[in-house]
């Protein structure tokens, strides 16, 4: 048994020895090969790493304009070199009709700005042109012109560093101007012409009235509008602007004009506006005339004395009276009392405006229609105005209405004037202008109307009519309508 074991052991040892020998022999043969591979791989890695560094450096240099490039000439950095100032190569002018043009030539395009400066004690009106980045060289500092609105051109250096030149155009009066680039090359063109401008506004007293003068330049064209509620005269001057020193308002004349306001109504296109605010009563009928003084460049408004009805005779007829109460409201208001109250306010206004007034009754007395007509015809009045309130079986009915006789054109116009004012001032409903054959309309020899100034049968109308302050409102509306009638065509027919 031991012999076999020995045999097996002897067989295994040679195999182990043989393997080790072979292994030792193979290791000795392969070592140079692995060393060579290692060196080769290391060299490749070093080469790749070096290439990465070169590429990275190239990419960094590609974004830098100042970075040196092999074989390429590096241009100089223009931002680091001061740019030579532009030169103003010439200043000239020419006139075309009412327009004067100034041409400023430059060696290249430049930035510029322009503005207008108002007249002072030491300086005239002037347009100032600032040329950035430019110098005038040897240009003449003062160029006399004397054409149109342009008196002379002044040229001077505002700053050497940075370079800046100022060109001043001295004007004889305010001017409208435009600044554009020269179409023929680098440079600037300034076109100017006499501007329309309001420079002042003031009052002057004259015999028989007062004058509002609006002074300025070239104020030859204007539009006039008469507006109501509130009473005012609006004067628009197209193409005009307000001088900076012109006040926004001045006081009135104390005789019908309350205030005068001025403002720039529009800027493009320019429209200057003058508003003459009138007193509600006296000013409503104040006559005026407007004209333009072309030689002195002003607009003149002549206001007569605050007696718009001077020389007029008005017959005022307070309806009903005495045994004739007229309409009676549900709360017990008598028409005869209301018409007399309104009549007293109306008479006061008419007399203040210079009118002669004749009343058909002076108190609570009975006067029939024929006696009223006879009184009016004998007095020789210019117009006849009868004051009434209305009533209707249906309480919903409300408003104001005015009657006239169809055969008299002036009477219709008088009815229209008073009706319009009653609607504006009371806010009552419009019951219309109507034709009637009442005795006081048909029998009078002058334009005559009957004014129904609200319905006593209507609760809303009655609420106002019972208030005496509202009686003054009614009287004011009738008064304004009378003034409108005389002012619009002087009481004559327009047919």
Distance (Å, rounded) from C-alpha 304 to C-alpha 279?
14
Assign domain 196-304 to its CATH architecture: Sandwich (2.60)
User: 54: helix, coil or strand?
Assistant: helix
Give the pLDDT confidence of 284-322 residue by residue, as tens digits: 677 788 988 765 678 998 887 767 788 899 999 999 999
Distance (Å, rounded) from C-alpha 417 to C-alpha 410?
11
- Of the residues 199, 231, 452, 462, only one is catalytic, namely 452
**In the sheet where 223-227 sits, what is the strand order?**
223-227, 232-238, 270-278, 257-267, 249-251
- Topology (CATH) of 313-487: Aminopeptidase (3.40.630)
Of 357, 277, 331, which is closest to residue 457 (Cα–Cα)? 331
Q: Tell me the two tokens of residue 147.
A: 């054409």
* Catalytic site includes residue 96: no
Distance (Å, rounded) from C-alpha 127 to C-alpha 362?
71
Per domain, the residue ranges of the chain are 86-194, 196-304, 313-487
Longest dimension (CA), the chain: 185
Give the pLDDT confidence of 393-403 residue by residue, as tens digits: 999 999 999 99
Pick the CATH number of 86-194 from 3.40.50.920, 2.60.40.3500, 3.40.50.300, 1.20.58.760: 2.60.40.3500
Establish whether domains 86-194 and 313-487 are of one fold: no
Handedness of CA 317, 322, 328, 333 (dihedral sign): positive
The answer to whether 131 and 165 are in contact (CB under 8 A) is yes
Counts of helices then strands in the chain (DSSP H, E) = 7, 26
Distance (Å, rounded) from C-alpha 446 to C-alpha 90?
79
Sites in the chain below the pLDDT cut of 50: 1-27, 29, 54-80, 490-495
């Amino acid at each position: 048994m031991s012999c076999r074991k020995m045999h097996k052991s002897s067989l295994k040892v040679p195999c182990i020895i043989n393997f080790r020998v072979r292994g030792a022999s193979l290791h000795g043969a392969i070592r140079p090969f692995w060393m060579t591979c290692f060196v080769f791989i290391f060299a490749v890695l070093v080469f790749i790493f070096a290439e990465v560094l070169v590429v990275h450096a190239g990419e960094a240099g590609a974004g830098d304009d100042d970075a040196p490039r092999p074989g390429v000439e590096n241009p100089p950095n223009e931002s680091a070199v001061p740019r030579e100032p532009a030169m103003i190569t010439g200043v000239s002018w020419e006139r075309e009709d009412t327009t004067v043009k100034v041409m400023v030539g430059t060696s290249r395009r430049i930035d510029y700005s322009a503005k207008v400066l108002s007249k002072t004690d030491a300086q005239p009106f002037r347009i100032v042109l600032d040329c950035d980045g430019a110098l005038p060289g040897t240009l003449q500092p003062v160029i006399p012109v004397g054409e149109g609105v342009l008196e002379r051109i002044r040229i001077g250096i505002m700053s050497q560093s940075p370079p800046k030149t100022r060109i001043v155009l001295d004007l004889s009066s305010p001017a409208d101007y435009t600044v554009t680039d020269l179409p023929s090359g680098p440079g600037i063109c300034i076109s100017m012409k006499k501007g329309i401008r309001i420079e002042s506004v003031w009052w002057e007293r004259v015999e028989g009235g007062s004058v509002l003068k609006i002074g300025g330049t070239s104020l030859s064209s204007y539009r006039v509008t008469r507006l109501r509620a509130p009473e005012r005269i609006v004067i628009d001057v197209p193409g005009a602007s307000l001088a900076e020193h012109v006040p926004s308002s001045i006081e009135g004349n104390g005789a019908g004009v309350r205030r005068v306001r001025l403002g720039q109504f529009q800027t493009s296109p320019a429209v200057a506006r003058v508003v003459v605010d009138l007193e509600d009563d006296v000013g409503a009928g104040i006559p005026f005339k407007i004209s333009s003084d072309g030689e002195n460049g002003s607009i003149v408004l002549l206001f007569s004395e605050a007696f718009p009805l001077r020389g007029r005779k008005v017959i005022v007829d307070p309806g009903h009276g005495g045994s004739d109460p007229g309409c009676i409201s549900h709360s017990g208001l008598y028409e005869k009392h209301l018409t007399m109250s309104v009549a007293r306010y109306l008479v006061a206004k008419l007399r203040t405006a210079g009118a002669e007034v004749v009343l058909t009754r002076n108190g609570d007395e009975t006067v029939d229609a024929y006696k009223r007509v006879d009184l009016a015809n004998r007095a020789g009045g210019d117009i006849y105005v009868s004051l009434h309130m209305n009533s209707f079986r249906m309480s919903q009915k409300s408003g104001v209405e005015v009657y006239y006789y169809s055969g008299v054109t002036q009477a219709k116009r008088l009815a229209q004037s008073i009706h319009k004012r009653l609607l504006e001032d009371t806010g009552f409903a419009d019951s219309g202008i109507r034709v009637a054959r009442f005795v006081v309309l048909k029998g009078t020899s002058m334009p005559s109307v009957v004014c129904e100034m609200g319905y006593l049968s209507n609760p809303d109308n009655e609420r106002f009519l019972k208030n005496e302050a509202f009686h003054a409102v009614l009287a004011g509306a009738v008064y304004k309508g009378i003034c409108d009638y005389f002012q619009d065509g002087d009481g004559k027919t327009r047919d």
